[in-house]
C-alpha cells in the first residue's frame, strides 16, 4: 500500500486548507521550521500530522480532537489518498462525527460525504485491515501492529526494550516477529496447550483432595453395601403389606366375636349362679320363719290351750320339709354354684387371653407398624444406595484421575512435538535471520562506526510454568553505550529500519511497506541522522518500493543536509509559525489565540 496525499478540507469555507503530497517511494520528511533563531519549531503540527495519518489508518480519534471547538466549528474533514493492489482509495475522518470512518472507492477525489461509504469505527478498522494486510495474514490485526509502524517518541521509544510500554509481552513479541517476517504464532499455539495442561493439572489436584480411600477399599465397601441391599430387598419382597394387614383385621374380628361369645356365657352363668344363691337364701329364710313359729308356741298354748292336732301336724310337716330342702336342695344349689364358678374361672381366663390378643391387634392396626417397618427397610436401602453412589463417584474420580494423567501426558507429548516442529520451522529461517543481523550491523557501522548486535533466538525450553515463554521469538539488540538516550533511541530506529528494509527486499511476508517515526531523531547526534536518512532513501529507491516518514526540526540536522533533502525532494511538508498560521499543519491554530 502507498500513502499518496493527505488533505484538510473545511466544510465551512468549502475549500482545501492544506494538502501534502507524499513520495510514493523513498524518504518523506515532515520538517519543523523556524522564522528566526529565537523562534520555536515545536507546536507547528508535525505530531498532529502523524496522528491524523494514524486516525485515517484506523486508530480511534483522540479526545483532544473530538472535543476541539475550533476543529468542530470549522467542520474539518481529513482525507488520505492511498493506492493498494493497483486501486485508488480515499480514506476520510470527519471530526464532527469521530465515531465514523469514510471510504471513497476507486473514484476521483471529492469532498461530498454523500459519495463516500460511511463505516462505524469497528467496521472501518476491519476495512483498513483488509486493504493493508489482505486476507492471508492470520491471528494478527493491523490495529495490534499500527503503533509499531507509526512510532512516536513519547510512547514508542522505551529504554531497554524494542516494544511499547504496558503491552502484553506475548502479543508484543508476536508483533515484532511478524514485522521481521519470522514465525509469530508459535508461542500462542504452545501457550494454548500449556494452558490446557495447567487446567487439567488443577482439576487433578482438586480431585485428589476428594479421594480418601484406595480403589480396593472403595470396591470392598461397595460389595458390602450391595449385599446388604440384596438382603433388604429380599425381606421387603417377602412381605405382602395388604395381605398381612387384611389377615390382621380378620383375626381381630374373629377374636372380637369369640370374646363376645365368652362374655355372653359369663353373663348367663352369673345370672344362673345368682338364681341358685337366691334360692338357697329363700330356703334358709323359710326355715328361719318356721323356727319363728316355735318361738310363739307358748303364747299360743296360753291363748288357746293347746294347738289343734291338725295345726300342730302341719307345722311339723312344713318344718321337716324346709329342713329337708335346706339340707338337700341347698347342697344341690351349692354344687351347681361351685360348678358355675369353675366354668366362670375358665371363661374369665379365656376372656383375658382374647382381650390381650385384641389389645395387641388394636395397637398394630392403629399404629400401622407393618407399614412403618417396611418404610424403615426402604429408607435403609436408600441410605445404602446413597453410600454406593458416593463410592461410585469416588471410583469414577479414580478413573478420572487416570484419564487426566493420560490426557496431560498426551498434551505434553503434543507440546513437545509442536515445539520441535516450531523449532525446525524457526531453524529454516536461518539465512533470513542472518540477513537481518547483517543489516542491523550495517546501520550500526554507518551511524556509529561500530558493530551493533541483533540477536534473534527461539525459546524451546518446554516447562509448565504459568509465565512460560516456550515458542517465543526473542529479539534483542544493543549498541555500545546504548544507555545514552540518543543511542537508545537510535537503536530502536535501526531495529525498525532493519525489519522494514528487509521486508521490502523479501519475496514473501507481510504487505507493510511504510514506516513512520515521529520525533525519533530528536536525541541522536545531527551528523548521524543525515547518514541514516540518506542510506534509507537510497535503499528504498533501489528496491523501487517503500515509504519512510520522519518528523524532524530544522536545527536537528546540518544545514547542508537540509539543503540536500530539499533538493532531493524528500521534504514533503514544511511546518512553521506564521502570522496567519497558514503554514501550520491544519492551516490554522488548534488552540485559542489568547
pLDDT higher at 55 or 342:
55
CA atoms within 13 A on the CB side of 268: 8
pLDDT higher at 181 or 376:
181
Helix (H) or strand (E) holding 20: strand 15-21
Q: Quick one: what percent of the chain has pLDDT higher than 90?
A: 44
| pLDDT of 331 strictly over 70 | yes
Rounded CA-CA distance 590/199 in Å is 54
What DSSP string runs through 207-254? HHHH--S-HHHHHHHHHHHHHHHHHHHHHHHT--HHHHHHHHHHHHHH
Q: Give CA 27 to chain center in angstroms.
A: 51
- When mean pLDDT is compared across 188-192, 303-307, 338-342, 498-502, the lowest value belongs to 303-307
pLDDT of residue 351: 82
| pLDDT of 36 strictly over 60 | no
Rounded CA-CA distance 498/162 in Å is 12
Rounded CA-CA distance 202/381 in Å is 36
Q: Quick one: what percent of the chain has pLDDT higher than 70?
A: 84
| pLDDT of 128 strictly over 80 | yes
Count of beta carbons in the 10 Å neighbourhood of residue 22? 22
pLDDT of residue 526: 74
| Cell numbers linked to 5 | 496525499
Asked if residues 542 and 570 have their Cβ atoms less than 8 Å apart, the reply is no
pLDDT of residue 594: 43
Helix (H) or strand (E) holding 455: strand 453-458
pLDDT of residue 302: 53
Q: Are strands 150-152 and 117-120 parallel, antiparallel or unpaired?
A: unpaired
Asked if residues 193 and 414 have their Cβ atoms less than 8 Å apart, the reply is yes
pLDDT of residue 48: 93
- Can you list the domains of the chain with their CATH numbers? 1-134+511-594 (3.40.50), 235-367 (1.10.287)
Rounded CA-CA distance 160/375 in Å is 78
- Non-local (6+) Cβ contacts of 168 within 8 A are none
pLDDT of residue 125: 94
| pLDDT of 205 strictly over 60 | yes
DSSP structural state of residue 556? G
Residues 18-31 have a mean pLDDT of 96
DSSP structural state of residue 83? E
Rounded CA-CA distance 583/39 in Å is 14
Q: Which residue has the cell 506475548?
A: 170
Q: How confident is the model at residue 393 (pLDDT cuts 50, 70, 90)?
A: confident
CA atoms within 13 A on the CB side of 358: 14
- Non-local (6+) Cβ contacts of 6 within 8 A are 19, 20, 22, 49, 52, 53, 56, 78, 79, 80, 81
| Cell numbers linked to 454 | 541483533
**Alpha-helical regions (H) of 475-517:** 485-505
pLDDT of residue 380: 83
DSSP structural state of residue 60? P
Average pLDDT, the chain: 84
Bridge partners, 89 (sequence order): 82, 105
**pLDDT tens digit sequence for 534-581:** 999 999 999 999 999 999 988 888 899 999 999 999 999 999 888 888
Residues 244-273 have a mean pLDDT of 74
| pLDDT of 40 strictly over 60 | no
CB-based burial, 151-179: b 16+ in 10 Å, e otherwise: bbbeebbeeeebbbeebeeeebbbbbbbb
| Cell numbers linked to 356 | 390381650
Q: Are strands 2-10 and 15-21 parallel, antiparallel or unpaired?
A: antiparallel
Rounded CA-CA distance 548/570 in Å is 10
573 φ, ψ (degrees, to nearest 5) = -150, 130
| pLDDT of 311 strictly over 60 | no
| pLDDT of 104 strictly over 80 | yes
- When mean pLDDT is compared across 213-217, 404-408, 521-525, the lowest value belongs to 521-525
Amino acid at each position: 500500500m502507498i500513502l499518496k496525499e493527505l488533505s484538510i478540507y473545511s466544510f465551512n469555507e468549502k475549500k482545501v486548507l492544506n494538502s501534502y503530497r507524499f513520495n510514493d517511494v523513498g524518504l518523506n520528511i515532515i520538517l519543523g521550521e523556524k522564522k528566526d533563531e529565537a523562534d520555536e519549531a515545536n507546536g507547528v503540527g508535525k505530531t498532529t500530522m502523524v496522528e491524523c495519518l494514524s486516525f485515517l489508518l484506523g486508530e480511534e480519534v483522540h479526545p483532544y480532537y473530538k472535543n476541539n471547538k475550533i476543529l468542530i466549528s470549522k467542520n474539518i474533514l481529513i482525507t488520505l489518498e492511498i493506492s493498494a493492489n493497483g486501486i485508488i482509495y480515499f480514506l476520510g475522518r470527519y471530526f464532527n462525527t469521530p465515531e465514523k470512518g469514510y471510504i471513497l472507492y476507486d473514484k476521483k477525489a471529492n469532498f461530498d460525504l454523500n459519495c463516500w461509504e460511511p463505516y462505524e469505527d469497528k467496521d472501518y478498522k476491519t476495512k483498513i485491515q483488509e486493504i493493508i494486510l489482505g486476507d492471508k495474514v492470520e491471528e494478527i490485526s493491523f490495529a495490534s501492529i499500527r503503533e509499531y509502524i507509526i512510532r512516536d517518541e513519547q510512547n514508542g521509544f522505551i529504554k531497554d526494550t524494542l516494544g511499547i510500554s504496558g503491552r502484553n509481552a506475548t502479543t508484543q513479541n508476536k508483533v515484532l516477529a511478524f514485522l521481521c517476517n519470522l514465525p509469530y504464532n508459535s508461542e500462542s499455539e504452545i501457550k494454548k496447550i500449556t494452558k490446557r495442561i495447567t487446567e487439567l493439572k488443577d482439576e487433578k489436584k482438586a480431585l485428589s483432595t476428594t479421594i480418601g480411600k484406595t480403589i480396593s477399599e472403595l470396591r470392598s465397601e461397595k460389595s458390602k453395601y450391595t449385599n446388604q441391599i440384596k438382603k433388604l430387598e429380599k425381606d421387603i419382597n417377602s412381605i405382602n403389606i395388604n395381605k398381612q394387614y387384611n389377615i390382621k383385621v380378620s383375626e381381630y374380628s374373629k377374636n372380637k366375636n369369640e370374646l363376645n361369645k365368652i362374655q355372653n356365657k359369663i353373663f348367663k352363668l352369673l345370672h344362673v349362679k345368682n338364681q341358685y344363691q337366691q334360692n338357697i337364701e329363700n330356703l334358709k329364710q323359710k326355715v328361719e320363719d318356721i323356727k319363728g313359729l316355735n318361738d310363739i308356741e307358748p303364747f299360743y298354748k296360753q291363748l288357746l290351750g293347746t294347738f289343734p292336732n291338725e295345726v300342730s301336724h302341719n307345722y311339723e310337716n312344713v318344718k321337716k320339709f324346709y329342713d329337708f330342702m335346706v339340707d338337700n336342695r341347698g347342697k344341690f344349689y351349692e354344687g351347681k354354684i361351685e360348678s358355675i364358678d369353675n366354668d366362670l374361672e375358665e371363661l374369665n381366663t379365656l376372656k383375658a387371653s382374647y382381650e390381650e390378643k385384641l389389645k395387641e391387634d388394636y395397637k398394630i392396626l392403629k399404629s400401622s407398624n407393618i407399614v412403618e417397618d417396611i418404610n424403615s427397610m426402604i429408607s435403609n436401602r436408600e441410605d445404602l444406595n446413597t453410600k454406593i453412589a458416593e463410592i461410585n463417584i469416588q471410583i469414577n474420580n479414580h478413573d478420572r484421575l487416570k484419564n487426566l494423567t493420560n490426557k496431560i501426558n498426551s498434551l505434553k507429548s503434543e507440546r513437545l512435538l509442536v515445539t520441535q516442529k516450531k523449532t525446525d520451522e524457526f531453524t529454516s529461517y536461518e539465512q533470513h535471520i542472518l540477513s537481518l543481523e547483517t543489516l542491523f550491523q550495517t546501520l550500526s557501522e554507518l551511524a556509529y562506526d561500530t558493530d551493533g548486535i541483533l540477536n534473534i533466538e527461539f525459546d524451546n525450553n518446554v516447562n509448565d510454568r504459568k509465565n512460560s515463554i516456550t515458542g517465543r521469538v526473542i529479539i534483542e539488540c544493543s549498541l555500545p553505550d546504548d544507555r545514552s538516550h540518543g543511542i537508545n533511541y537510535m537503536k530502536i530506529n535501526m531495529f525498525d529500519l532493519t525489519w522494514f528494509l528487509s521486508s521490502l527486499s523479501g519475496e514473501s511476508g507481510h504487505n507493510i511497506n511504510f514506516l513512520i517515526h515521529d520525533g525519533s531523531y530528536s536525541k541522536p547526534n545531527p551528523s548521524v541522522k543525515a547518514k541514516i536518512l540518506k542510506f534509507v532513501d537510497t535503499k528504498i529507491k533501489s528496491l523501487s518500493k517503500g515509504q519512510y516518514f520522519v518528523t524532524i526540526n530544522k536545527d536537528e540536522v546540518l544545514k547542508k543536509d537540509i539543503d540536500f533533502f530539499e533538493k532531493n525532494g524528500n521534504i514533503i511538508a514544511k511546518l512553521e509559525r506564521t502570522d496567519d498560521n497558514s503554514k501550520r499543519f491544519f492551516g490554522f491554530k488548534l488552540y485559542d489565540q489568547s
